[in-house]
Structure formats: structure tokens, C-alpha cells
């Protein structure tokens, strides 16, 4: 069984490819090197968009979990969406940590530093890995979904702490450049445009991955549901077959014993 | 809600008084952790004094993980949870009761660990009032988060491994803030512990609120 892809998902995928291509061309070829960071600035065109998508994914997981927990809106789709978004979020958090580490080595001189924002992002990564582990546990699907939804909401409390930690603690990390309320944007021209295109590109990638994964989760649940149903039917079939065979055996045995006791006339009757 | 919480506190404390698991097993294990940390840091006195606040809270965190496990094994082993549901107790009250019992048990353990870091690591305690406030706030936050995740993980077969995976990352901000506040009050770092106490307070309030709200749905479907 292949997941059906709607034309909208195909269009999103196509647009994502175009924007990723544009980010690559602009980021690697057209934009100039930074006055201080040199060529290392190029990783900035993908690092903040990756982090943004991770937060977007966790936000979606939290909202979908809330909708699943609320009795009026409770539906399987919210749980499925929550799981799909968290999976994509974990991948993007991992990529954020990797790209940050690659940038940190030449800039700070170390692959990893115990900067609060880095540490909190790593914690977020582990926290959502725990959430995904909870989702994968065997057992009643509704019980698991409800618990996962509660865990997702609690985990989401950590997200604003990650966001605010850069301001709460004295940090080595770069302060927000574009979305800094106390400071006007300090990034200009083609560099700002490339960063914006990067944000759009990775948001589209997230949407495409989210809907594709959602389709796969729906199919997995169908397999789980129908797989069990087929197994039950087969089992019932076996039981019926056994019963039929047993009843046929006992019937023929009874007939034979009766016929042997009553003689040739009664044997004719049994055959009739 | 408070009346139900008091019932749970009485029940769990009575069980603890009879079994003495926290005092006979968890507390010695916490002291063993302190001794092992000293081996890991090569028993270097200066390093131990500097690391004492963090090591204290790591020992508390591991002990808390065991205590949460114990708190929920009481409920699952003899189907007490079903009994509590049949009695019609308020889920928020059950949650608060569990949190308070865990806080009391851990506070006793923290006093023992406090003596431990003074004797073994030569740490010096300055402001007792602030140290106790930090300890109570941190323990309350940890107990609240731990009770939520303990309840989440309690009926799964893999609860032993699932609980630390869920509980330890969520409690890391509490651990960080409590360590920073202790560093100031133990005199290893110059500064004020007040911002950290505020963060600990926010954590405790947030986790207590979430717990009171979420414990009902959690109990319903178990």
C-alpha cells in the first residue's frame, strides 16, 4: 500500500526544492564573505532556519497534543500530527546542534561549549527523544496517545526556557539578530534576503516532511489495526475449521458405531 | 483537595515508616554516590569544595529518581491505585499528597547529604535560611515533575528505563538553578542567589499547576 500524496503536498515539495536550491546558490556563491567571520558566515543561512523549524515543530506538537487532550476536539489526527511533528522536530534539533558545532569550532575554538543555549537545546533534543520513546511503547493506542500528549505539553514548557535562556544567563552565544526587540536588525542587503529565503525553504521542507510522515503514520496505524483484525479472522477461521473437522469426525464415528451395531439396513439409512 | 492530599500523606508516610526504604536504602546509596564522586575527582580537596554544590544536587536527583520509582511501586504492587479511584479522591489531592510526601522524604535525605558534603568535602554552610529555602523550592519542583512522569511511566513494562529518560532532562533546569544558588550560599562563587531562587519558584509553581491539572486524565485511563 502506497501513501496517497495530495497535489498540495507535491506542490509544497516542489517549492521546497526551488527555495533550497536558491538558498544554496545565494548562500554559497552570490553573498559576500562576512567582514569578521569570513566564509564561516555561510552556515548562518541554514543554522537559524533549522532552529526555527525545530521550535515550529515542537509548537505544532504542543498544539496538536492540547487538541487531542481536549475532549471536544479529540481525534486520532491530532495525535498522529503531534507524533509526526515531534519526529521532524528532533531531526531538525539534531541538525541545529551539528551545524552549530561546525560553526563553533573555528569561531569559538571548540566543537562544544557549555553555553546555556547549546545546553538547553541539547536537553530539548533528549527530552523529545524521551517523548518519541514513550510513543513507541507497546500497549493500548488511546492510553499511549493521552500520555504522550501530556508529556508533549510538559516538554513544551522547556521551549520558552530555551528561547529565553540566551537572555537569562550570561552567554557566549550570539544574541538574536533579526528578532531582537531591543535592537534594530543588523543584517542587510543580499545577506538578509538569503537568510529570509533560508527560513522559507526550511519551513517548506518541514511542511513537506510533516505531511509525508503523517501519511506514513496513518498507514502504520491502519496496518496495526487491520493486521490484528486479519489475525483475529484467521484465528476464528482456524477455530471454525477445527470445530467443523472435530464435529465431522465425531459424527462419522458415531454413524459407523451405530451402523456396526444395527446391521446393513441401518447403514443404508445413515448414508441416506 | 487538601483533605485528600492529607489522606495520601498519612498513607504514604505510614508505609514509609513501616518499610523504611528511604532511610535504609536510598540514603546510604546517596552517601555512596558522594564517596564515588570523591574518587572520580581524585579526592582533591579544593576540587571537591568547588564541586560540592553540583555533586550534592546530582546525588539528590539520582535519589529522587529512586524515590519516585518507590512512590509508584507502592500504588501498582497491590492495586492501590484502583482503590484510590474507587474512593473517589480528588486527583489533584492525590498528586499534591504524593508531591508533599516525596518532598518530606527527600528533605530528610538532603539533611543527611548536607552533613555528607560538610564532612566529606569540607564545604562550609553560610546562610541556613536561604539554603533551606533553596532546598525546599528545588525539591518541590523536582517532586512535582517526578510525580507527573512517575505516573506517566508507571503502568508500562519498561518504566525502570523510561522514567529516568523522561525525568532527568526535564529536571535539568532545576538542577542548574539549585546548583548556582548553592554555589553562592556555600561561598564557592561570589554573587546573589536571588535570581536563581526566583527561577526555582517559577519551576515549582509551573510543575505543581501542570500536575494538578494533568493528574486527573492520567488516573482516568490507567
**Do A135 and A188 reside in the same domain of the chain?**
yes
Q: Is residue A233 part of a domain?
A: no
Each residue of A193-205: pLDDT tens digit?
Answer: 888 888 999 999 9
Q: Is residue A5 part of a domain?
A: no
A216 pLDDT above the threshold of 50: yes
Query: Closest partner residue to B152 among A69, A147, A158, by Cβ?
Result: A147
- At residue A269, the pLDDT reads 38
- Residue tagged 540566551 (cell numbers): A166
User: Hey, of B173, B192, B197, B199, which one would you mutate to test binding to chain A, going by the most A CBs within 10 A of its CB?
Assistant: B173
A164 has a chain B CB within 8 A of its CB: no
Round the average pLDDT of chain A to a whole number and report it.
77
pLDDT, block means (10 residues), chain B with 222 residues: 82 83 82 87 80 90 87 72 73 88 91 89 84 92 90 76 85 84 81 81 88 79 58
Residue of A64 and B165 predicted with greater confidence: A64
Q: Is residue A231 part of a domain?
A: no
Query: Closest partner residue to B172 among A123, A131, A139, by Cβ?
Result: A123
**Nearest chain B residue (CA) to A150:** B214
- At residue A265, the pLDDT reads 42
- CB distance A83 to A58 below 8 Å: no
A163 pLDDT above the threshold of 70: no
Q: What is the DSSP letter of A41?
A: G
A60 pLDDT above the threshold of 90: yes
**Do A259 and A140 reside in the same domain of the chain?**
no
Q: Is residue A261 part of a domain?
A: yes
- At residue A268, the pLDDT reads 38
Each residue of A13-42: pLDDT tens digit?
Answer: 999 999 999 988 888 888 877 777 777 778
Instruction: Tell me what the mean pLDDT of segment A40-52 comes to.
Output: 87
Q: What is the DSSP letter of A4?
A: P
Each residue of A83-105: pLDDT tens digit?
Answer: 999 999 999 999 999 998 888 88
**Do A58 and A176 reside in the same domain of the chain?**
yes
A169 pLDDT above the threshold of 50: yes
**Residue A261: domain span:** 239-271
Q: Is residue A131 part of a domain?
A: yes
Report the run of H or E that residue A251 belongs to, with start and end: helix A189-262
- At residue B16, the pLDDT reads 81
Instruction: Tell me what the mean pLDDT of segment A143-151 comes to.
Output: 86
CB contact under 8 A, A147 and B218: yes
Q: What percent of chain A has pLDDT over 70?
A: 70
Q: Is the ipTM of this complex over 0.85?
A: no
Lowest mean pLDDT among A68-77, A209-218, B80-89, B185-194: B80-89
d(CA B43, CA B33): 13
Which CATH number fits the domain that encloses residue A172? Answer: 1.20.120
**Do A65 and A174 reside in the same domain of the chain?**
yes
**Do A180 and A258 reside in the same domain of the chain?**
no
- At residue A67, the pLDDT reads 92
Residue of A234 and A258 predicted with greater confidence: A234
Query: Closest partner residue to A133 among B148, B165, B170, by Cβ?
Result: B165
Q: Is residue A70 part of a domain?
A: yes
- At residue A271, the pLDDT reads 40
How many A/B residue pairs have CB atoms within 8 Å?
Answer: 59
- At residue A146, the pLDDT reads 86
* The three-state (H, E, C) secondary structure of A143-183, written as one string: HHHHHHHHHHHHHHHHHHHHHHHHHHCCCCCCCCCCCCCCC
Instruction: Tell me what the mean pLDDT of segment A237-248 comes to.
Output: 56
**Which residues in chain B touch residue A131, judged by CB atoms under 8 angstroms apart?**
166
CB contact under 8 A, B166 and A137: no
CB contact under 8 A, B170 and A126: no
Q: Is residue A8 part of a domain?
A: no
Q: Is residue A39 part of a domain?
A: yes
Return the bridge partners of A162, or none.
none
**Do A63 and A189 reside in the same domain of the chain?**
yes
**Do A203 and A248 reside in the same domain of the chain?**
no
Residue A34 phi, psi dihedral angles, 5° rounding: -75, 150
**Do A167 and A35 reside in the same domain of the chain?**
yes
A257 pLDDT above the threshold of 50: no
**Where does the pLDDT of residue A57 fall: very low under 50, low under 70, confident under 90, or very high at 90 and above?**
very high
Count other C-beta atoms under 10 Å from residue A65's C-beta: 29
**Do A131 and A184 reside in the same domain of the chain?**
yes
**Do A264 and A134 reside in the same domain of the chain?**
no
**Do A132 and A205 reside in the same domain of the chain?**
yes
- At residue A8, the pLDDT reads 86
d(CA B189, CA B206): 28
Amino acid at each position: 500500500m502506497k501513501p496517497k500524496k495530495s497535489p498540495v503536498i507535491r506542490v509544497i515539495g516542489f517549492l521546497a526544492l526551488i527555495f533550497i536550491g536558491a538558498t544554496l546558490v545565494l548562500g554559497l556563491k552570490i553573498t559576500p564573505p562576512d567582514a569578521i567571520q569570513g566564509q564561516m558566515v555561510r552556515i548562518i543561512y541554514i543554522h537559524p532556519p533549522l532552529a526555527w523549524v525545530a521550535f515550529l515543530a515542537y509548537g505544532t506538537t504542543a498544539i496538536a497534543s492540547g487538541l487531542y487532550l481536549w475532549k471536544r476536539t479529540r481525534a486520532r489526527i491530532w495525535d498522529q500530527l503531534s507524533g509526526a511533528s515531534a519526529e521532524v522536530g528532533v531531526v531538525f534539533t539534531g541538525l541545529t546542534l551539528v551545524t552549530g558545532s561546525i560553526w563553533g569550532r573555528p569561531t569559538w575554538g571548540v566543537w562544544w561549549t557549555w553555553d546555556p543555549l547549546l545546553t538547553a537545546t541539547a536537553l530539548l533534543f533528549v527530552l523529545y527523544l524521551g517523548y518519541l520513546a514513550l510513543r513507541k511503547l507497546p500497549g493500548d493506542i488511546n492510553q499511549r496517545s493521552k500520555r504522550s500528549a501530556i508529556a508533549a505539553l510538559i516538554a513544551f514548557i522547556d521551549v520558552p526556557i530555551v528561547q529565553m535562556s540566551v537572555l537569562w544567563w550570561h552567554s557566549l552565544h550570539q544574541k538574536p539578530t533579526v528578532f531582537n526587540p531591543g535592537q534594530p536588525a543588523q543584517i542587510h542587503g543580499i545577506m538578509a534576503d538569503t537568510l529570509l529565503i533560508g527560513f522559507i525553504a526550511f519551513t517548506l521542507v518541514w511542511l513537506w516532511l510533516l505531511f509525508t510522515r503523517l501519511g506514513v503514520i496513518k498507514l502504520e496505524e491502519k496496518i496495526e489495526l487491520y493486521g490484528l483484525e486479519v489475525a483475529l479472522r484467521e484465528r476464528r477461521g482456524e477455530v471454525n475449521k477445527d470445530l467443523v473437522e472435530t464435529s465431522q469426525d465425531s459424527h462419522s464415528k458415531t454413524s459407523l458405531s451405530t451402523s456396526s451395531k444395527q446391521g446393513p439396513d441401518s447403514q443404508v439409512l445413515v448414508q441416506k | 483537595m487538601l483533605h485528600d492530599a492529607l489522606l495520601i500523606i498519612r498513607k504514604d508516610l505510614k508505609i514509609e515508616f513501616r518499610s523504611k526504604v528511604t532511610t535504609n536504602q536510598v540514603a546510604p546509596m546517596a552517601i555512596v554516590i558522594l564517596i564515588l564522586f570523591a574518587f572520580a575527582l581524585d579526592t582533591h580537596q579544593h576540587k571537591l569544595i568547588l564541586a560540592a554544590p553540583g555533586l550534592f544536587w546530582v546525588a539528590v536527583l539520582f535519589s529522587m529518581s529512586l524515590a519516585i520509582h518507590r512512590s509508584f511501586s507502592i500504588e501498582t504492587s497491590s492495586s492501590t491505585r484502583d482503590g484510590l479511584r474507587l474512593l473517589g479522591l480528588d486527583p489533584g489531592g492525590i498528586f499534591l499528597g504524593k508531591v508533599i510526601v516525596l518532598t518530606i522524604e527527600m528533605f530528610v535525605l538532603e539533611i543527611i547529604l548536607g552533613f555528607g558534603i560538610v564532612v566529606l568535602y569540607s564545604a562550609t554552610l553560610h546562610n541556613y535560611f536561604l539554603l533551606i529555602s533553596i532546598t525546599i523550592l528545588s525539591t518541590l519542583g523536582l517532586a512535582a515533575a517526578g510525580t507527573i512522569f512517575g505516573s506517566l511511566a508507571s503502568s508500562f513494562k519498561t518504566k525502570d528505563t523510561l522514567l529516568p529518560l523522561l525525568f532527568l532532562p526535564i529536571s535539568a533546569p532545576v538542577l542548574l538553578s539549585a546548583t548556582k544558588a548553592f554555589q553562592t550560599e556555600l561561598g564557592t562563587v561570589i554573587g546573589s542567589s536571588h535570581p536563581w531562587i526566583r527561577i526555582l519558584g517559577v519551576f515549582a509553581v509551573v510543575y505543581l499547576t501542570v500536575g494538578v491539572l494533568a493528574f486527573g486524565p492520567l488516573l482516568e485511563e490507567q
